């Protein structure tokens, strides 16, 4: 079945994610479930700007910061990211 003018929008930039940390406008490198990461973000003294979002996106810099706390919090759990 071929249709012209597909229902799907195949655009590259519309879904570009920006870091969720207030005041940060860098492109997001990681996106994590809010339930999972929110506490670590708070402990890192960072504020998330979109309070209603179910996911938190972090740029490389903020991910580095949050990861330190996050890893401590999840010590003992075996989690693999990325792969």
Closer of 17 and 36 to Zn ion (Cβ): 17
Q: Does 24 bind Zn ion (CB under 5 A)?
A: yes
Query: Which range binds Zn ion by CB under 5 A, 25-33, 37-45, 49-57, 68-76?
Result: 25-33
Per-position DSSP letters for 17-44, written without gaps between them: -B--BTT--SBPSEEEEHHHHHHHHHHT
Residue 79 near residue 60, CB atoms below 8 Å: no
Q: Does 62 bind Zn ion (CB under 5 A)?
A: yes
Dist CA 55 CA 33 (whole Å): 5
Min separation Cβ 68 and Zn ion, Å: 15
Binding footprint of Zn ion on the chain (CB under 5 A): 19, 21, 24, 26, 59, 62
């Amino acid at each position: 079945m071929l249709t012209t003018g597909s229902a799907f929008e195949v655009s590259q930039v519309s879904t570009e994610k920006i870091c969720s940390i207030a005041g940060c406008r860098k492109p997001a490198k990681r996106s994590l479930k809010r339930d999972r990461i929110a506490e670590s973000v708070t402990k890192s003294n960072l504020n998330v700007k979109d309070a209603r979002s179910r996911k938190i996106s972090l740029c490389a810099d903020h991910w580095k910061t949050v990861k330190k706390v996050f890893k401590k919090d999840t010590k003992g759990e075996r989690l693999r990211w990325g792969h």
